[in-house]
Structure 1
Amino acid sequence: MSSHVERTPSHGKPATAQALNASLKAPKGTRVFFVDNLRVSLTALVIVHHLAITYGALGTWYYQDPNKDMLAMIILSILAAIDQAFFMGFFSLLSGYFTPGSYDRKGGRTFLWERYLRLGIPLLVYDLVLDPLREARQE
């Protein structure tokens, strides 16, 4: 039994896959808005996830509300478990999909330097300044 999928006459791929590939190979300087919208949605989900941990879900976070209602704890823990199962992987998938194009455009040295500036410096600031302040405050 075959499934009914609309095929394009030129390549035999499903029409939706061809449209997706065409939109991802947009001319230089254009944005892929559905990917931006997906990133914004995933970022909002990460914020909700950390709020859930703060207000009742199982897990560790910098602050946890001392008033724990059992029903809220169960609901928020289920929410956190479900969204944690996919949101970080989805961010990695999106990042990995666009990395080869960025690497090809910029070259290896520039690509790595820009990654260092975007990721390495904030990590160093957190490790050397913010985390020691947080630990000193907790003591």
Structure 2
Amino acid sequence: MTYIKKIAFLCLLLPLMSCSLQKEGLPKIKQGVFGTVTWVEGNMMPSPDAPESAGARTIEREIRIYEALTFKQVKGEAPLFTAVEGKLVKTIKSNAKGFFKCELPVGSYSIFSVESEGKLFANNFDGNGLINAVTVTQGEAVKLDIQINYKAAY
């Protein structure tokens, strides 16, 4: 009898799990990149005498996707760049909840958000000098969350 109860419990649990996964913003793309853009500002260090930060919130942002770039191909200082010398592949926009998705062919890409005065933001760099890079392989959707934090103190 307990075996039947376990199976019944699992049958009830599976539909609930699938609903929660859909709410997290899983992409409806077969190959490319997806994620959430979050804005963070203020004092992020816990302290009894410092005012509490507003924390993080999801935001709309224009996102530019370039063929993978290194520091030799950008101007300005990280994390805000003033110019890019590379091939722009796509320009997209995150929605009001910060979610974005983009179909892309197989390849490596650098992803930037567009900030005030047209500056490009990226704060992830790998050991090879690639800026905010993702590699898309055949049939894969890669998750890349963007946390815009140049006005935050840690």
TM-score (norm 1): 0.24
Determine which structure has the larger helix proportion and give its number: 1
Query: Computing the radius of gyration over CA atoms, which structure comes out larger, 1 or 2?
Result: 1
Determine which structure has the larger strand proportion and give its number: 2
